Structure 1
Amino acid sequence: MGYESPMPVQEEVIPLLLGEDNDVIALAQTGTGKTAAFGIPILQKIEIDQYHPQALILCPTRELCLQIANDLNDYSKYMDKLRVLPVYGGSSIESQIKTLKRGVHVVVATPGRLLDLMNRKTVDLGLVKNVILDEADEMLNMGFSDSINAILAEVPESRNMLLFSATMPQGIAGITRKYMRNPKEIVIGKKNEGNKNIRHSYYMVRAQDKYLALKRIADYYPNIYGIIFCRTRKETQEIADKLIQDGYNADSLHGELSQMQRDYVMQKFRIKNLQLLVATDVAARGLDVDDLTHVINYGLPDEIESYTHRSGRTGRAGKTGISISICHIKEKGKIKEIERIINKKFEKGEMPSGKAICEKQLFNLVDEIEKVKVNEEEIESLMPSIFRKLEWLDKEDIIKRVVSLEFNRMIDYYKDADEIEVIDERSARKEKGERGERSERGQGGRKTYTAEDGFTRFFLNFGKADGLYPNNLIELVNKCVPGKVQIGKIDLRENFSFFEVDQYESKRVMDLMNGFEIDGRRISVEPAQGAKGEGGGKGRGRSGDRGKYGGDRKKGRDDKSHFYDRFDKSERNSEKPWRRSSSDRFDRKRRSNK
């Protein structure tokens, strides 16, 4: 398979897994040879004549599950009768049950489907000798903590356990304390550090220019073979559709696709029938694709750790790669935070001009013409007719026509296209000031405040007097609204607050948050349409909340406990602390009638 000497993670992990009673925590980036590090020693310890699960590998996504199973099958090519079963949602559970009944040696599983099989009493983990948690941090981020605990409770205490993670969040400490015995920690590089072979750069543009910037970057690298990461399924599909309409060799990969569709897209991408794959963060894990040249972040991820996993798709196995982020000025702080975590500096990119892009593409064509392999035998009989057809053209004319045939469309596009301005903090502040002046003039001297581009501004009926801080507000949104929601500027006042969310998520946020309660007091979220200093989106004053929504605001003022403490207390003392009010339907109707 081309292995000549062990990579650092393999050199450290393999001897430990070959022994007994060795629990290991390995911090290593994607693309460092982790699968072989645990796969080869596990296979060596399998007793082929014993047809029951002897090794269990848990991973977060279907793609990674299949990739690990395929790699283990490759490693065990000369191990007759070895059976490896990938277990994941989206495929036939009846087929997986039949295979388990026939007997398997290694189970590679996503937590949800494995727990389903355990509940059906169709899989027995009582004789498992090795347990591997691959991409443990992502499994915790995806909410698999309870499932992992239920699975590990059924595994013998005498087993070896290996936990692989690219980053080290706090949640992993709970697993290590509960299920691991004096684990040895192996760090390849530095904790949470990114791959040293990846160059990181960013382009800061206005929200309305993000897609045009993406096109320019894709055009500037003619041989690009990469993944474009988006935050939501909707955005992923929209960007993929736009790229396809504009003639790019692209497709999308996200959770709304069926397993068959996902497999089909990934197969096209692996054999390079696709040049660009537009994907959600789910695809950040488990996409073991060789020779990716670029990872493009269409906006930075909500979780800082996700950036490490995104960028880790390129620069694998010692090769170099480029990670590019297209972001706006509000994400400047995230860039600095990522720089601190990965211990690398971002380069600020200059948006390529139309002339530079055309020049790069033309020289790439020239290189391809130089390197093309000519099949003399096949075209020999056709050449006399071709020569006669073109004999009236000299060499220079033929070259010009070949170039024009290939590039007239691109040259025409960039000839008329406006240049995209890469913004910095100074120009952003200047533009924001101009918007404020225009808004102030438009209101007859009264200054109004609007949300940033791409965001919707909301009013919330909780403020500083309730012990509310920005991190509490973010936690509140996350608790009420499933999935990841990008939150913008937060403006806390004494009795109420304003906050911004991604405009594509605004209706969902408002619908899901309204009607929930904290300590018997209902949450109210409305579009902020009033001027600064007004208490609500519909011109309600500072005390307007009390009569309409109930709940004594003085209670919040007198309660010395922190908002977050009361939130935790509510969660502990109630089976469903985030509950809809019984009068919510009537109240919604009353608001809509008004």
Structure 2
Amino acid sequence: MSRTFAQLGITDSFRKALEENGILDPTPIQQKAIPFLLEKGTDLIAQAQTGTGKTAAFGLPLLQKLDPANPKVQALVLAPTRELCQQIAKQLFRFTKYGPRLFSEAVYGGAAIGDQMKALQRPTHIVVATPGRLIDLLEREAVDLSQVRTVVLDEADEMLSMGFKKELDQILAKTRGKRYTWLFSATMPPDIQAIIKKYMAPDAHRIQVDAQHQVNKDIDHRYIICEENEKLPVLLDFLRQQEDSRGLVFCKTKNGAQTLAKQLSARNYPSEALHGDLQQRERDRVMRAFRNRREFQTLIATDVAARGIHLDDMAYVVHYQLPDQLEYYTHRSGRTARAGKKGYSVALVTPRELADIKALEKALDIKIRPL
């Protein structure tokens, strides 16, 4: 039975801020995590997709348990990308509008470290950080984690797949024995299991949202059969039908993404490519234009570059090329149907790839229908 935020134990001031932001009904992950984290707050392992309301699931209990009178860092949230750090800090700020004065600071690579060091001299209750930048700040003794009581690992599988294992080990070893760990991850590969075994309590509380489906059930999964040389016209036809909607198209390689963006733009369908070789400044420019719907509404991305894209109104995801790994399909599809909205995940497949569609259906226990 669905419960309200009041029944979950969220106080009036935070509920008022939630209502103002259009968050009225708790999602499944919030219903399972919030009461546990408020009452016990011990180690938590939560398996949940992106877009299921994880930030509020850990953010609200975190904020309610902080001591506003203590200006020191009491909680640490680690996330894989600059964009996700910014988004988490922004959301925590919105939650505190009517509550006690609590301050979060987002720190990440690609921005001036001197400015971040200065910002951390102000009262800061929560630091939201990418692992690499946090290590830089610790080495410069610019951040004090001695009073941290809770460490949140958000999108832990993405942090590991982006190569942050060494940094996570350093950070968790440094805070060991003084804190609870709340781990959120869409998938549970062996690297995650190793972190759980090494740094978390053996009796850590486990939550799995929608255990039968690793992919959000608000996503309508479809496929279109076409030969390789038909993919571009088929994609253009699909995009025209989407009218003003915004979405993501995935390619497997940087060259593929760049080529497709040029091909679409040449056919009067403006788009830009987001790939791992972009400088941070250029990535920021592309993301700003995409967020503001300036110039283009379709972003072409590689799997690595798309990490950290968290927008709640993506109507569709197109797999221009199927990913090599099962988790990538999950991560890609999870960019749409966020915050309770519906969305499309559409794969363009050649007749030879139909077997891959069947394999995805079986592995993820989903139905992918022809469009």
Structure-2-length-normalised TM-score: 0.88
Indicate the SS of the match to 1:316.
coil
Where structure 1 has 5 or more consecutive residues not aligned to the other structure, the ranges are 350-594
In the alignment, residue 282 of structure 1 is paired with which amino acid? V
Task: Say yes or no: does 1:105 pair with 2:150.
Answer: no
Indicate the SS of the match to 1:152.
helix
Name 2:184's counterpart in structure 1.
Answer: 164
Indicate the SS of the match to 2:367.
coil
Structure 2 contact 312–337 (Cα < 8 Å) conserved: no
Which residue of 275, 279, 288 corresponds with 2:310? 288
Cα gap change, 1:101 to 1:221, in 2 (>3 Å): closer
Name 1:188's counterpart in structure 2.
Answer: 209
Which residue of 76, 101, 106 corresponds with 1:86? 106
In the alignment, residue 178 of structure 2 is paired with which amino acid? S
CA distance in 2, matches of 1:40, 1:285: 24
Question: After the TM superposition, which of the residue ranges 214-223 and 152-161 deviates more from structure 2?
Answer: 214-223
Structure 1 contact 85–106 (Cα < 8 Å) conserved: yes
Which residue of 290, 293, 312 corresponds with 2:334? 312
Name 2:232's counterpart in structure 1.
Answer: 211
Q: Select the structure of larger CA radius of gyration.
A: 1
Structure 2 contact 212–365 (Cα < 8 Å) conserved: no
Indicate the SS of the match to 1:154.
helix
1:20 offset after TM fit, Å? 4.3
Cα gap change, 1:288 to 1:307, in 2 (>3 Å): same
The within-5 A match list for 1:39-438 is 39-79=59-99, 81-181=101-201, 182-190=203-211, 193-273=214-294, 274-349=296-371
CA distance in 2, matches of 1:269, 1:75: 25
Name 2:56's counterpart in structure 1.
Answer: 36
The superposition leaves residues 527-566 of structure 1 with CA deviations (integer Å, 9 ceiling, x where unpaired) of xxxxxxxxxxxxxxxxxxxxxxxxxxxxxxxxxxxxxxxx
Indicate the SS of the match to 1:102.
coil
CA distance in 2, matches of 1:330, 1:147: 41
CA distance in 2, matches of 1:68, 1:337: 34
CA distance in 2, matches of 1:184, 1:27: 11
CA distance in 1, matches of 2:67, 2:279: 36
**RMSD, aligned α-carbons:** 1.9
The within-5 A match list for 1:491-506 is none
CA distance in 1, matches of 2:344, 2:71: 45
Structure 1 contact 66–86 (Cα < 8 Å) conserved: yes
1:37 offset after TM fit, Å? 0.6
Greater relative CO, 1 or 2 (CA 8 Å, sep 6+)? 2
CA distance in 2, matches of 1:186, 1:99: 35
1:22 offset after TM fit, Å? 1.2
- The alignment of Structure 1 onto Structure 2 pairs a total of residues equal to 349
The superposition leaves residues 264-296 of structure 1 with CA deviations (integer Å, 9 ceiling, x where unpaired) of 322322233332111222344332212221100
The superposition leaves residues 246-274 of structure 1 with CA deviations (integer Å, 9 ceiling, x where unpaired) of 11132222233333332332232223333
1:191 offset after TM fit, Å? 5.6
1:205 offset after TM fit, Å? 2.7
In the alignment, residue 74 of structure 1 is paired with which amino acid? R
The superposition leaves residues 460-504 of structure 1 with CA deviations (integer Å, 9 ceiling, x where unpaired) of xxxxxxxxxxxxxxxxxxxxxxxxxxxxxxxxxxxxxxxxxxxxx
Structure 1 contact 51–105 (Cα < 8 Å) conserved: yes
Structure 2 contact 274–306 (Cα < 8 Å) conserved: no
CA distance in 2, matches of 1:86, 1:344: 36
CA distance in 2, matches of 1:319, 1:81: 32
The superposition leaves residues 384-419 of structure 1 with CA deviations (integer Å, 9 ceiling, x where unpaired) of xxxxxxxxxxxxxxxxxxxxxxxxxxxxxxxxxxxx
Name 1:587's counterpart in structure 2.
Answer: none
Structure 1 contact 26–185 (Cα < 8 Å) conserved: yes
Structure 1 contact 67–286 (Cα < 8 Å) conserved: no
In the alignment, residue 235 of structure 2 is paired with which amino acid? L
CA distance in 2, matches of 1:338, 1:198: 14
Structure 1 contact 203–325 (Cα < 8 Å) conserved: yes
1:335 offset after TM fit, Å? 1.9
CA distance in 2, matches of 1:295, 1:283: 15
The superposition leaves residues 43-74 of structure 1 with CA deviations (integer Å, 9 ceiling, x where unpaired) of 11222232221111111111111111111111
Percent identity, aligned pairs only? 46
CA distance in 2, matches of 1:148, 1:191: 29
The within-5 A match list for 1:449-464 is none
CA distance in 2, matches of 1:47, 1:339: 47
1:341 offset after TM fit, Å? 2.4
